[in-house]
A and B are shown apart, each in its own frame.
Chain A
Amino acid sequence: MGVARLKKAELYYHKSVYGEIAAALQNSGSCQIISTTEENKKRPSDVEALLSKTEDRLADVRYLTRTLTPHYVDPVPSLDRMLGERPDVTMTELEELASQTDLKAVCERTRAIEHETGEVRTKLSEARMNISLLAALDFFPYPLSVITEGTRTLSGLAGTLRAENVSGLKAAIGDLSQYKDDTELVVAPYDPKDKAAEVYAAVIFSRKLESEIREICTKQGLSFIEVPSVLKGTTDEEREKFTASIAELEARESELASQLADTAQENVPTVQKLSDYYNSLAGRYGETLNSDETASTMLTKFWLPADKADGIRQTIEAISPDVELTLSDPAPEDEPPSLLNNGNTVRPFNILTELYSSPTYRGIDPTPLLAPFFWIFFGMCLGDAGYAIVVFGTILYVFRKYKKIAPGVKDFIRLFLFCSVSTFIYGVISGSFFGNFIDSFVPVLVPLKNALMLVDPMTNPMQVLGISLLLGVIHLMFGLLVAAYDKLRHGEFIDAIGNDISWFLLIVGLCLLGTAMMGMLPAHFFDIGRAMAIAGAVIIFIYAGKGEPNIFKKVINGFLALYGSTSYLGDILSYSRLLALGFGSAVIGMVINLLGGLASDIPYVGWLIAIVVIIGGHIFSIAINILGSFVHPLRLQYVEFFGKFYTGGGEAFTPLTLSQEYVNLKA
């Protein structure tokens, strides 16, 4: 239970066995290498060469993964992959695969395809631009070469101008043509009423007049357009040519795409395996060195769980007799990482702590403390026996079907398996089975349901509200006691009393006092409660003024501290969400049954619609309510509970392991 004890290991060995030692540490999966700066990592030259070769291959693998994966259609559904349906391979097999695979050739082929695809796309977009330009120039009756090349004596230009300027341009060119007959203005059809419309126009003129014509055109507001020099024939001829070339290019593009897809289909599984292989090697050779002690001896320092030490020692001593492994307890100045070490029952809840922040090595592991509360709170929020059965059944099916689920994923799923039990229990005692399914559709079971009911949120919500708030008080007070314990452990006796015990006394006292006053507890609890509350308040008052020489400031600090009790009120009321969310899922279920009931009144197809509505609706309800039932109890742990004693701030234990991104990789 709690944070596992770690040992600091210093391992001295001869250079010649470096590779085997590094592999052994990685394969054990329980050593976190204490890292050092890159300059201090002095690897034997053969290892250095191996590492740089590995990194070179990794670059290829990454390129291929990035380029090919989007075109790869995995025959196995991604959900199955997530649940562990991945190839089982060993490092030895992968070494063989790596030596047989010519990654460079695949890269070259892929690059060639990519390169040509790029070229084809550029040509395509040019051709498409030309087609749209041709559409605009359709009014031009002559071959476009007049504009793009000109003849011996003539030249031309094209451009756009506002419709209102057309007559001006016409007049200006007309003035010129009085002298020279070989100038012509061609204008695309336009609507003279729409003055702001952009109109395409082209001018053909004698080469001698080029500069004057350009000047006139600019003055009249014509903005020139560049007609690409490939356009030579009439617009119709050119269009035909480009349409044909577009068809050709598109065909080539799709051919290249299918080539890329084929390459992907053929190579991605191998590339993925090699990705894990090379990443494992890069991790192994990149991380495992600390320093080079002497010319031929090397040193690696790492953390390992105390209970794994013997195993590691045996493995290492089997490699070479010339090794020296010294194990020591963490020194006070060390900040070891923390490894949560909880049994099967609590371990699924580890993720809740890790999502917040890992504890420090010497801190408290809050997982076993929050687990029972989270379990109860989740049950109260989802709170439906029918939903619980669905969740439980689905998870059992998943566990039966998928045997290779990764341990982390499996624990997370198991968390919901556990919580479905509390959901079932609360569903039974609050009489919720797929909402009010029993009342609506199977009245024969109503007496059974009612016999098992202990609380009834529908007709007596105040009762459940009371239970929710009571659980809140218990949760918070438990948090205070843990905080006090943690302080006492470190010898901070006064802080434990002043900060935590005092509030515990005040709040428990007030609760006793209140409940006794309402007659829910025997009268003598009133006196006990009052004594506790007063004692708590006095301690809080005095503790807050501690270390303050000025008597007025002492008093002010004391009152301010007591004012802090409002935050406890807020914390306690926050637990009313347990009622609200449980209510929410029950009523959503009720609404679905109601809609199903209404649908069943439709003639002939009613029963079918009702079934669809009820099944679909409840699936939706389960999904949305699981999200809420996970998030809100988690918040109660993080904000209300952890706020009393836990800050985390540790570093999680991350051992050097084989990379398992795509395959289940064994040593």
Chain B
Amino acid sequence: MELLGLSLALFGAALAAALAGIGSAIGIGVAGGAAAGVMTEDPNKFGSCLILQALPGTQGIYGLLIAFFVLNKIGLLGGAGAVALNWNQGLQIFASCLPIALVGWYSAIWQGRTSAASIQMIAKKPEAMGKAIILPAMVETYAVLALLTSILMLMGVQVG
């Protein structure tokens, strides 16, 4: 049982990287489909399409960031060796990972849909690029807030 804490912490890190990554993959995929459709008509829109397609990718990075944060906190990175965690501390770290894991997962999917819609928009109105970028960014707000929550929670958890 003395490894339960470590396992819980790792489980949290895995969820943060995996769920947020899955969300970003789906979001980018959805937006990419729309981008490819627009580019068959007008290949010159590659630049703006790529920017809009990349927007839902940040959640995956946020998830990765939290996962690294956890690994660093429990001493699995670098040569120092894992710190001792009781199950309580492990559960706390696990809980800290949930905001970015869940919000990252879902917000990336919806951001991808908004990006796809924005890509359709610039197909017809290329001059509306500013607005097209802002609409998906509205969705990302909640991923940013979740990232912040996860970071603050993780910093608050006392280990070692």
**Which residues does A use to contact B, with CB under 8 Å?**
352, 354-356, 461-462, 465, 573-574, 576-577, 579-581, 583-584, 587-588, 590-591, 594, 597-598, 624, 627-628, 631-632, 634-635, 638-639
Considering the chains assembled together, what is the distance between the CA atoms of A584 and B62 in angstroms?
A: 7
Considering the chains assembled together, what is the distance between the CA atoms of A597 and B79 in angstroms?
A: 11
Given contacts A356-B130, A588-B65, A632-B144, contact A627 B137 (CB under 8 A): no
Considering the chains assembled together, what is the distance between the CA atoms of A461 and B149 in angstroms?
A: 11
Considering the chains assembled together, what is the distance between the CA atoms of A354 and B137 in angstroms?
A: 18
CB-CB nearest in chain B for A579: B148
**Residue pair A355, B130 in contact (C-beta under 8 Å):** yes
**Residue pair A584, B133 in contact (C-beta under 8 Å):** no
Considering the chains assembled together, what is the distance between the CA atoms of A438 and B51 in angstroms?
A: 32
Which secondary structure dominates where chain B touches chain A? helix
**Residue pair B130, A584 in contact (C-beta under 8 Å):** no
Instruction: Give the distance to chain B from A656, nearest Cβ to Cβ, in Å.
Output: 18
Considering the chains assembled together, what is the distance between the CA atoms of A639 and B135 in angstroms?
A: 10
Residue of B69, B77, B141 most packed against chain A (CB within 10 A)? B141
Contacts of B61 in A (CB 8 A): 584, 588, 624
B117 interface residue (CB < 8 Å to A): no
Contacts of A628 in B (CB 8 A): 58
28 A-B pairs with CB atoms under 8 Å apart are: A352-B130, A355-B130, A355-B131, A462-B152, A465-B152, A573-B145, A574-B141, A576-B145, A577-B145, A577-B148, A580-B144, A583-B147, A587-B65, A591-B68, A594-B68, A594-B72, A594-B78, A598-B77, A624-B54, A624-B58, A624-B61, A631-B133, A632-B137, A632-B140, A635-B134, A635-B138, A635-B141, A638-B134
Select one of A573, A577, A580, A635 contacting B151, CB under 8 A: A580
Contacts of B54 in A (CB 8 A): 624, 627
**Residue pair B134, A583 in contact (C-beta under 8 Å):** no
Instruction: Give the distance to chain A from B124, nearest Cβ to Cβ, in Å.
Output: 17
Contacts of A598 in B (CB 8 A): 77
**Residue pair A580, B148 in contact (C-beta under 8 Å):** yes
Contacts of B141 in A (CB 8 A): 574, 577, 635
Instruction: Give the distance to chain A from B30, nearest Cβ to Cβ, in Å.
Output: 18
Interface residue total, chain B, C-beta cutoff 8 A: 30
Residue of A573, A590, A591 most packed against chain B (CB within 10 A)? A591
Given contacts A577-B141, A632-B144, contact A627 B51 (CB under 8 A): yes
Contacts of A577 in B (CB 8 A): 141, 144-145, 148
Instruction: Give the distance to chain B from A372, nearest Cβ to Cβ, in Å.
Output: 20
CB-CB nearest in chain B for A457: B151
Select one of B57, B134, B152, B155 contacting A634, CB under 8 A: B134
Contacts of B140 in A (CB 8 A): 631-632
What 10 additional pairs, Cβ within 8 angstroms, besides A576-B148, A628-B58?
A461-B155, A580-B144, A580-B147, A581-B144, A588-B65, A594-B77, A624-B57, A627-B55, A631-B134, A632-B140
Contacts of A634 in B (CB 8 A): 130, 133-134, 137
Residue-wise interface mask of B (32-63) relative to A, using a CB-CB cutoff of 8 A (1 in contact, 0 not): 00000000000000000001001101100110
Contacts of A465 in B (CB 8 A): 148, 152
Contacts of A591 in B (CB 8 A): 64-65, 68
